[in-house]
A and B are shown apart, each in its own frame.
Chain A
Amino acid sequence: MTAPDVTTVPAVSIRDLWFAYDGPPVLREVSFDLAAGDFVSIIGPNGGGKTTLLKLLLGLLSPTRGSLRVFGRAPDAARKRLGYMPQQISLDTSFPVTAIDIVLMGRLGNGFPAGPFRRADREAAETALRDVEAHDLRNRGFFSLSGGQRQRILIARALASGPDLLLLDEPTASLDPAVQDDLYELLTRLNRRMTIMLVSHDIGVVSKHVRTVVCVSGQVAIHPVEAISGELARVLFHGAEDVKLVRHDQCEGGHPGHPPGTRHATHTTAGHSERR
Chain B
Amino acid sequence: MGEFFQSLAAHSFLRNALFAGLLASVACGVVGTWVVTRRITVIAGSIAHAVLGGMGAAYYLRVVKHWEWLSPLHGAVAAALLAALAIGWMKSRGDEREDTVISAIWSIGIAIGVLFLFLTPGYKTDLMSYLFGNIVMVDAGALRLLVILDAIVLLAAAAFYNPLLAVCFDEEFARLRGINVQFFYTLLLCLTALTIVTLIYVVGVVMVIALITLPVSVAGRFSRKLWQMMLLSALLCGFLTTAGLAISYQPDLPVGATTILLTAVVYAAVSLGAGLHQRMHRRASTTAAADREGDKT
- The number of chain B residues touching the other chain, given as a range, is 20 to 34
Specify the chain A residue showing the minimal Cβ separation from B224.
A141
B210 within 8 Å of A (CB atoms)? no
Partner among B170, B176, B179 whose Cβ is within 8 Å of the Cβ of A82: B176
Query: With A84-B176, A96-B226 given, is the CB distance from A113 to B160 under 8 Å?
Result: yes
Q: How far is the CB of A140 from chain B (nearest CB, A)?
A: 8
With contacts A82-B176, A109-B179, A157-B173 known, is A104 near B226, CB below 8 A?
A: no
The answer to whether B177 and A86 touch across the interface, beta carbons within 8 angstroms, is no
Min CB–CB distance A109 → chain B (angstroms): 3
Binds A, one of B81-89, B122-130, B133-141, B161-169: B161-169
B165: A residues at CB distance < 8 A: 97, 101, 105
Contact assessment for B225 and A97 in the assembled complex, using a CB-CB cutoff below 8 Å: yes
Report B175-186 CB contacts with A as 1/0, cut-off 8 Å.
111110000000
- With A95-B37, A95-B169 known as contacts, the answer to whether A108 contacts B175 (CB < 8 A) is no
With an 8 A cutoff between CB atoms, is A12 at the interface?
no
Q: Which residues of B contact A95 (CB under 8 A)?
A: 37, 168-169
Residue-wise, chain A 74-107 has the 8 Å CB interface mask toward B (1 for contact) of 0000011010101001011011111001101110
What are the residues of chain A within 8 A of B223 when measuring CB–CB?
Answer: 96
Query: Contacts A98-B225, A141-B224 given: A58-B176 contact, CB under 8 Å?
Result: yes
Q: Give the distance to chain A from B221, nearest Cβ to Cβ, in Å.
A: 8
Q: Which residues of chain A come closer than 8 Å to B160, judged between CB atoms?
A: 113-114
The answer, yes or no, to whether B68 is at the interface (CB within 8 Å) is no
Tell me the minimal C-beta distance from A171 to chain B in angstroms.
15
The answer to whether A105 touches B174, judged by C-beta atoms less than 8 angstroms apart, is yes
B177 touches A96 (CB 8 A): no
Query: Please, how many angstroms separate the alpha-carbon atoms of A79 and B173 in the complex?
Result: 11
Interface flags for B200-233 (1: CB within 8 Å of A; 0: not) read: 0000000000000000000011011110110000
Q: Are B228 and A86 in contact (CB under 8 A)?
A: no
Give the interface size class of chain A.
Answer: 20 to 34
Bound CA span A122–B97, Å: 40
> How far is B286's CA from A143's CA once the two chains are assembled, in angstroms?
21
Asked if A3 is at the interface (CB within 8 A of a chain B CB), the reply is: no
Q: Which residues of chain A come closer than 8 Å to B168, judged between CB atoms?
A: 95
Give the residues from 157 to 197 in chain A that come closer than 8 angstroms, CB to CB, to chain B: 157, 161
Q: Kindly supply a per-residue 1/0 record for chain B positions 29-40, scoring 1 wherever the CB is within 8 Å of any chain A CB and 0 otherwise.
A: 000000001010
Which residues of chain A (207-225) have a CB below 8 Å from chain B?
Answer: none
Please tell me if B172 contacts chain A, counting CB pairs below 8 Å.
yes
Which A-chain residue is minimally distant from B33 (CB atoms)? A96
Q: How far is the CB of A87 from chain B (nearest CB, A)?
A: 11
List chain A residues, Cβ under 8 A from B159. Answer: 114-115
Known contacts A96-B226, A97-B225, A101-B165; is-contact A79 B37 (Cβ 8 Å): no
Contact of B176 among A60, A113, A117, A139 (CB under 8 A): A60
Closest to B178 in A: A109
Residue-wise, chain B 241-273 has the 8 Å CB interface mask toward A (1 for contact) of 000000000000000000000000000000000
* Nearest 7 interchain pairs by C-beta: A109-B178, A109-B177, A113-B163, A108-B177, A96-B223, A105-B166, A141-B224
Excluding A96-B223, A96-B229, A105-B162, 18 further A-B contacts by CB distance (< 8 Å) are A58-B176, A60-B172, A60-B176, A84-B173, A86-B170, A86-B172, A89-B170, A96-B220, A96-B224, A96-B228, A105-B177, A108-B163, A113-B163, A115-B158, A116-B161, A117-B162, A139-B224, A141-B224
7 contacts between A and B (CB under 8 A): A79-B176, A86-B170, A86-B173, A91-B169, A91-B170, A113-B160, A116-B161
Residues of B that sit less than 8 Å from A by CB: 37, 39, 158-163, 165-166, 168-170, 172-179, 220-221, 223-226, 228-229
